[in-house]
Structure 1
Amino acid sequence: MFSTALVILTFVASIDAKPLAKTYVNSTGSSGPLTFKSDGTFQISIFEDLHFGENAWDQWGPQQDVNSVKVINEILEAESPGLVVLNGDLITGENGFLENSTVYIDQIVSPLVNRGLTWASTYGNHDYDYNISGSTILAREKRWSNSRTTQMVFDEEAGTSNYYLPVYDSNCSDENCTPELILWFFDSRGGFRYQRKDGSGNRVGQPDWVDFSVVNWFLQTNNELVEKYSKAIPSLAFVHIPTYASYVLQKEGINPHAEPGINDDYPLAPQAQGWCADGRNDGTCEYGGQDIPFMQAISAVPGLMAVFSGHDHGNTWCYKWDRLLPNMTVSPRNDVNLCFSQHSGYGGYGNWERGARQVLATKSKLARFEVDTWIRLESGNVVGSVSLNSTYGKDLYPATNNSKTYCPTCDYGS
């Protein structure tokens, strides 16, 4: 269907403000390797679409950031993650100014720093604009020893937040051990290019899919890990913009009991939406297929259990991609669950109740390539608790209540 599908086949066989005073790092902090607890568990909290810095020039905007910090604090009071993932659209970049576009990072991470928690980020389409970029956000993050966000792919078109993190047994004291779990982070880019305008003075758009240089790095690095450890290690992946496979699965139909979650963003917005196969983005095409190499890779790498995305604030379901889908050329070689997290920030569109997806890995279940996941809401309620196991998609669960957060000072249409 698209020429990019053929390419992948050759690779299956890269204003300053003072920091907060406290920079605590706990036993799983960036000063040492990520490790499971002594009880054999490792939990991840995923905060999605925080959108700090929206409408910074009026009273409404800063209040949303205060509300978002409250969400983070409420979730972390109820959960005890070994790692926090900030999965894209940390900042509403189009509202940022060059001199202070990244200072919102300090506000975002303050609840984590004060708890001694470590975190890792991916960057989303709103993190790339004329006055902000993944590179500038990463530089700000690196002021904190708690941050594990890094850059492992340096191709000009790769984006910034492409890397992996191993998680070791609790008895491991260095990185010579065999990892129990691998966490992959991908940059789906999008938005606009930093400090660039065209001849008419307009911002220059940036592609919104995982670049092929990153796919190549992912496959090669995974092959090296398999060779080094003589086995496929269970893994999870995080990328802000979902793939076209999620779009087609949604079209096939979401069962509220088999795939519990909100399904209000219909149709969802996948990678490469609005692009043509020849690279044009002039409004004449619906989808260009440039994410086919990435889809091919995530469905071919053994041990990859789930990919977590955001971007579509009104979707919170997980769906097992286990078959060739209509109008697609990618046939998955391994089952992989494609999941949405919960809109966590008061910035960004929508009035769905804020929250954060939790992922619990246990060594016993990882032996079967299984993890458990649920969403903790700002209210304290838990919804969408499921086990991503061999029978997911057949097992039945309670449907997720579509609860809303009503705030008299919030402009939900922004």
Structure 2
Amino acid sequence: MFADMHYGEGEAEAWGPAQDANSTRVQNAVLQSELNGLGLVVMLGDMITGNNVHSNSSAYWDEFTLPVRANFSGLPWATILGNHDDYPFQADGSPRQYTVETQADRRELLANDLRFADSATQLGPAGISLASNYFLPVGSHGDPQGPPELLLYFLDSGGGRAPEVYTKALHSPQGFFGMALDNITPTANDTGVFAVAKDTGIQAVFVGHDHGNDFCGSVEGVWLCFGRHSGYGGYGSWRRGSRVVELGSDGAIRTWVRMEDGDVVSSGELVGARDAQG
């Protein structure tokens, strides 16, 4: 999972393209380290910083997907949107900051993503306002086109705040491991997401947005995990990396963070084989 890449910052400054090149380097390094057994890349939101992109945000979208497309052909990826991806362009002017309409809305960004053959991204239902709400069925390793072994749900944040399930992580989660150096910014209202996750047997939830967190903790039987700040855009100077999730054929779920330099941190078993089998 790559989270918070923030391509497109400082596009008129020398440091902007250099920062994006560093983010591309992170992707290539992590993908190369994890290539054996890798089945899906998840782009966890805030891949571009729309409020810094004056025009043609799709060009930055194409740039952040280029490492997978160019160097790992045949490897599918799936994208979910964060708050910055379609944020309106902002600039300092006299006498105050001015804002212009976003260059591409959420559905247009996803449609751009779907141009590529290896994109597993889906457009969410037209009847709701959030574009990247969808699910992907996952078959077994031996029969990938057969009946799904599990479902991956992708939920559009809609406003850049972590789902309210993460307020639960403030209250002594069990099995806590990983880095917790940032605030948690939950949604303003409890919309029942955690209750649905718990009642329907969701085993783990993963989110980005808060760059200084990569921790996991179990609350009422549901694992809550942050990704890892992957890009050189956005705030914070924490080491860059990517959360990796391994789904075993026996139902076990393991996770770790692969750092840009190859180190592995924040690792643990979320669901054991015996737990998965009931």
TM over 0.5: yes
Matched residue type, 1:110: L
Aligned partner of 1:406 in structure 2 is: none
The yes-or-no answer on 1:299 pairing with 2:257 is no
1:19 equivalent in structure 2: none
Task: State the match for 2:121 in structure 1.
Answer: 149
Q: Give 1 or 2 for the bigger CA radius of gyration.
A: 1
- Answering whether residue 155 of structure 2 is matched by residue 186 of structure 1, we say yes
Which position in structure 1 is the counterpart of 2:81? Answer: 123
Work out which of the residue numbers 330, 352, 356 in structure 1 matches 2:238. 352
In the TM superposition, residue 97 of structure 1 has moved relative to its aligned partner by 2.3
Q: Which residue number in structure 2 is paired with residue 163 of structure 1?
A: 134
Query: Which residue, 363, 369, 379 being the options, matches 2:249?
Result: 363
Cα distance in structure 2, aligned partners of 1:360 and 1:136: 31
Distance 1:390 1:361 in 2: 10
User: Partners in 1 of 2:131 and 2:228 — Cα distance?
Assistant: 23
TM-score, with length taken from structure 2: 0.86
* Aligned counterpart, 1:22: none
**Partners of 1:91 and 1:152 in 2: CA distance:** 20
One-letter code of the match for 2:32?
E
Q: Which residue in 1 is equivalent to 2:207?
A: 309
Amino acid at match of 1:375: V
In 1, the alpha carbon distance for the partners of 2:120 and 2:152 equals 12
The answer to whether the 8 A contact 1:53-1:61 is kept is yes
Matched residue type, 2:226: F
After superposition, where does 1:198-347 map in structure 2 within 5 Å? 241-250=161-170, 252-253=171-172, 258-266=175-183, 268-272=184-188, 289=189, 291-302=190-201, 304-322=202-220, 335-347=221-233
1:305 to 1:320, Cα distance in 2 relative to 1, 3 A = same
- Contact kept? 1:49, 1:310, Cα under 8 Å: yes
Give the Cα–Cα distance (whole angstroms) in 2 for the partners of residues 138 and 96 of structure 1: 17
| Matches of 2:164 and 2:272, distance apart in 1 | 23
- Count of equivalent residues: 255
The 1:134–1:253 alpha-carbon spacing in structure 2 relative to 1, beyond 3 Å, is same
Distance, in Å, in 2 between the alignment partners of 1:60 and 1:121 is 26
Alignment of 1:371-382 (within 5 A): 371-382=253-264
Structure-2 separation of matches of 1:152 and 1:245: 21
Q: How many angstroms does 1:155 deviate by?
A: 2.3
Q: What letter corresponds to residue 268 of structure 2 in structure 1?
A: V
SS at match of 1:359: strand
- Contact kept? 2:173, 2:219, Cα under 8 Å: no
Letter of the structure 2 residue corresponding to residue 86 of structure 1 = M
CA RMSD of superposed structures (Å): 1.8
Which digits, 9 at most, give the CA deviation of each residue in 1:183-239, with x for residues without a partner? 11110111xxxxxxxxxxxxxxxxx5xxxxxxxxxxxxxxxxxxxxxxxxxxxxxxx
Report the residue type matching 1:265 in the other structure.
D
CA distance in 2, matches of 1:68, 1:301: 36
Q: Percent of counterpart pairs with the same letter? A: 38
| Cα displacement (A) at 1:133 | 2.3
The residue number in structure 1 matching 2:25 is 70
Distance in 2 of aligned mates of 1:56 and 1:295? 39
Distance 1:348 1:320 in 2: 28
What CA distance in whole angstroms lies between the structure 2 residues aligned with 1:360 and 1:300?
23
User: Secondary structure at 2:157's aligned position in 1?
Assistant: coil
Secondary structure of residue in 1 paired with 2:46: coil
Question: Which runs of 5 or more structure 1 residues have no equivalent in the other structure?
Answer: 1-45, 191-207, 209-240, 273-288, 323-334, 392-414
Question: What SS does structure 2 have at the residue aligned with 1:75?
Answer: helix
- 1:88-121 CA-partner distances (Å, limit 9, x unpaired): 00110101124x1121121111111121121001
Match of 1:299, SS state, is helix
Instruction: Quote the Cα distance in structure 2 between the aligned partners of 1:359 and 1:173.
Output: 18
Contact 2:140 2:148 in 1 (8 A): yes
CA distance in 2, matches of 1:265, 1:134: 27
Given residue 95 of structure 1, which amino acid in structure 2 is its aligned partner? N
1:105 match: 61
Q: Aligned-pair distance for 1:79? A: 0.3
Q: Distance in 1 between matches of 2:18 and 2:263?
A: 24
Residue of structure 2 equivalent to 1:408: none
Structure 2: gaps (5+ residues): 89-101, 274-278
State whether residues 103 and 140 of structure 1, in contact with CA within 8 Å, keep that contact through their aligned partners in structure 2.
no
1:133 to 82, 105, 116: 105
Amino acid at match of 1:127: D
Task: Give 1:144's aligned amino acid.
Answer: F
1:384 aligns with 2:270: no
Spell out, residue by residue over 1:300-332, the C-alpha distance to the aligned partner (whole angstroms, 9 max, x if none): 112x1101001000011111111xxxxxxxxxx
Change (3 A) 1:352 1:121: same
On the 8 A contact 1:123/1:188 being kept in 2, the answer is: yes
**Aligned-partner Cα distance in 1 for 2:172–2:219:** 13
Q: TM-score, normalised by structure 1?
A: 0.59
